[in-house]
């Protein structure tokens, strides 16, 4: 069974931003899908098991953006 979490990311403004965030988060082990939406600042991540938020934060940081945290 997979886990889906929606994260809030600040700084994304365009399709390029979405691509950069998607590419970095996709590199985390166990991630099966990533959908970043710049307009809402939300990134939906589906993975085989719950992810370590620090791993997601590091990936978003590597892409040049800031993980605000899980969306409410």
Task: Go through the domains of the chain in sequence order and give each one's CATH number.
Answer: 3-70 (3.30.70.100)
For residues 57 and 9, the answer to whether their CB atoms sit within 8 Å is no
Report if pTM > 0.85.
Answer: yes
Q: In whole angstroms, give the CA distance from residue 22 to residue 1.
A: 22
Output DSSP code: residue 11. Answer: S
pLDDT at 26: 98
Start-end of H helices in the chain: 15-26, 53-63
pLDDT at 71: 85
For the stretch 18-60, pLDDT in tens is 999 999 999 999 999 999 999 999 999 999 999 999 999 999 9
Residue 30 in tokens: 């166990």
């Amino acid at each position: 069974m997979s886990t889906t979490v929606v994260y809030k990311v600040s700084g994304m403004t365009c399709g390029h931003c979405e691509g950069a965030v998607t590419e970095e988060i996709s590199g985390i082990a166990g991630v099966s899908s990533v959908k970043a939406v710049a307009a809402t600042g939300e990134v939906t991540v589906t993975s085989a098991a719950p992810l370590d938020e620090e791993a997601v934060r590091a990936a978003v940081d590597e892409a040049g953006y800031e993980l605000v945290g899980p969306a409410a």
